[in-house]
Amino acid sequence: MLNLFGKPKRFCDGITRRSFLKIGALGMGGAALPEILRAEAASGVRASHKSIIMIYLPGGPPHQDTFDLKLDAPSEIRGEFKTIPTSIPGFHICEHLPRLAKIMDKVAVIRSMSDARDDHSDFMCLTGRTRTNEPPGGWPSFGSLIARVQGPVDAAIPPFMGLEPRMQHKPYNAAGPGFLGVSHRSFRPEGDCKSDMALNGLTLERLSDRRALLQSFDTMRRDADASGLMNGLDSFNEQAFGMMTSSRLLKALDFQREDRRTIERYGKGDARTHGDAAPMLNEQFLVARRLVEAGARAVTVAYGFWDYHGNNFGNARNDLPLLDQGLSALIEDLHARGLDKDVSVVVWGEFGRTPVINKDAGRDHWPRVSCALLAGGGMKTGQVIGATDRWGGEPTERPVRFGEVFATLYQNLGLDISKVTVPDLTGRPQYLVPDGCLPMKELV
């Protein structure tokens, strides 16, 4: 009998033994996935569904001024910041990340992300792939893949939520549903969907009148359609009405419902749009947590603007404390709520920055190495993976590909990357990650 999830410890713990046996009986590989989902739905998996929160730092933050400081480098490389010790003995990080320093045992830092492209785009961070030899339609974002393969946990909550706004620099919004099609696009309450969510010139009374009218006119029998599309449409309509009035999704998006102290712990952030990218809305970290609790499987946040071609240190002094507060709050909150095994957090940008400080006290694009931060998901935290040379210019240990991080994240969701495939527009089965990318042994 085939174990669809690889080793037993990788079991999505919501699947009961009985439904597992049922799955096993169905036979080979990815083919049986819809049945898994049905089994999952049947066994009422809800509370413990696995999920991913991705915080994308548009522009590419300076790796050597955050988690990989080179205090022994010459001054034109070294930078202005000092280090502080962390809760991992011997591991020091930037002085402007004091709260994260205290919880480094709950974090894994990768210092050797190695296959970034010199391209201001969210594509690599959201797909783990490059744009060369893309299949027709393009590579899908990780959340679209998850939405397609695992479907919604709860009909009222879209499985893939994107909290990022439509960013001015177009390539920051490059990743989309790709060949999976528009129905697997993330639901974006701050982006495309924003203007459709608030009542557009209607009173609530009139909306409820309209809804009543619709109910009496809409007499077509749903059972005329065995494909389930009519059912789906009705349920999306329900959600849409809910969104305009009140609904689980709307509630999940409303962080004000949280305890005042929790909101304060996450911090205020900065609501202004930074550069041509995104604001630094710390409450979105909180919203992301609320969404995964409500049933989202993947949530993306775009945070700030890290393309420090000038005034690298001034900018970092402003931005790092905000990130420090929000991110440390999120990680602690996940632990406090017992979600640290279920929710994986990943934080990264599209590349690192040049070792040599330029004439404007900035650092330029440096795709040869960058950092990533991981937390939760049941991963082995409290470690630093990989290393760079003494200038922070090249990985010297354990170069890590973006696809390997995705392989790890998918495994955290209970997806077997060696089996699960999704057909592209030519009918070719595509694996979730690029060839050769395996879950990182250090982390799982």
Beta carbon of residue 82, minimum distance to another protein (angstroms, whole number):
42
Distance CA 93, CA 110 (A): 13
Beta carbon of residue 196, minimum distance to another protein (angstroms, whole number):
4
Distance CA 165, CA 349 (A): 16
Q: Which of 18, 46, 166, 210 binds another protein (CB under 8 A)?
A: 210
Distance CA 37, CA 389 (A): 46
Structural contact between residues 331 and 107, judged by C-beta atoms closer than 8 angstroms: yes
Q: Which tokens go with 410?
A: 């998918």
Q: Which of residues 265-284 bind another protein (CB under 8 A)?
A: none
Instruction: Please tell me the count of residues contacting another protein according to CB under 8 A.
Output: 76
Helix (H) or strand (E) holding 161: strand 160-162
Q: Which of residues 414-443 bind another protein (CB under 8 A)?
A: 416-419, 421, 425-429, 431, 435-436, 438
Residue 232 touching another protein (CB under 8 A)? yes
Which of these segments, 226-234, 250-258, 264-272, 296-304, binds another protein (CB under 8 A)? 226-234
For the chain, counts of helices (H) and of strands (E): 14, 15
Residue 353 touching another protein (CB under 8 A)? no
Beta carbon of residue 403, minimum distance to another protein (angstroms, whole number):
13
Distance CA 333, CA 351 (A): 28
Residue 222 touching another protein (CB under 8 A)? yes
Residue 380 or 390: which CB sits closer to another protein?
380
The one-character DSSP state at 36 is H
Residue 422: name the closest of 184, 185, 180 by CA: 180
Residue 370 touching another protein (CB under 8 A)? no
Q: Which of 213, 251, 360, 380 binds another protein (CB under 8 A)?
A: 213
Q: Which of residues 172-201 bind another protein (CB under 8 A)?
A: 179, 181-183, 185, 187, 192-193, 195-197, 199-201
Beta carbon of residue 227, minimum distance to another protein (angstroms, whole number):
7
Residue 88: name the closest of 70, 73, 109, 72 by CA: 109
Q: Which of 233, 254, 336, 397 binds another protein (CB under 8 A)?
A: 233
Question: Between helices 142-150 and 402-412, what is the axis angle to 10°?
Answer: 30
Structural contact between residues 278 and 164, judged by C-beta atoms closer than 8 angstroms: yes
Distance CA 21, CA 24 (A): 5
Residue 221 touching another protein (CB under 8 A)? yes
Q: Which of residues 134-163 bind another protein (CB under 8 A)?
A: 136-138, 158
Which of these segments, 67-75, 239-247, 318-326, 383-391, binds another protein (CB under 8 A)? 239-247
Beta carbon of residue 443, minimum distance to another protein (angstroms, whole number):
15
Structural contact between residues 143 and 288, judged by C-beta atoms closer than 8 angstroms: no
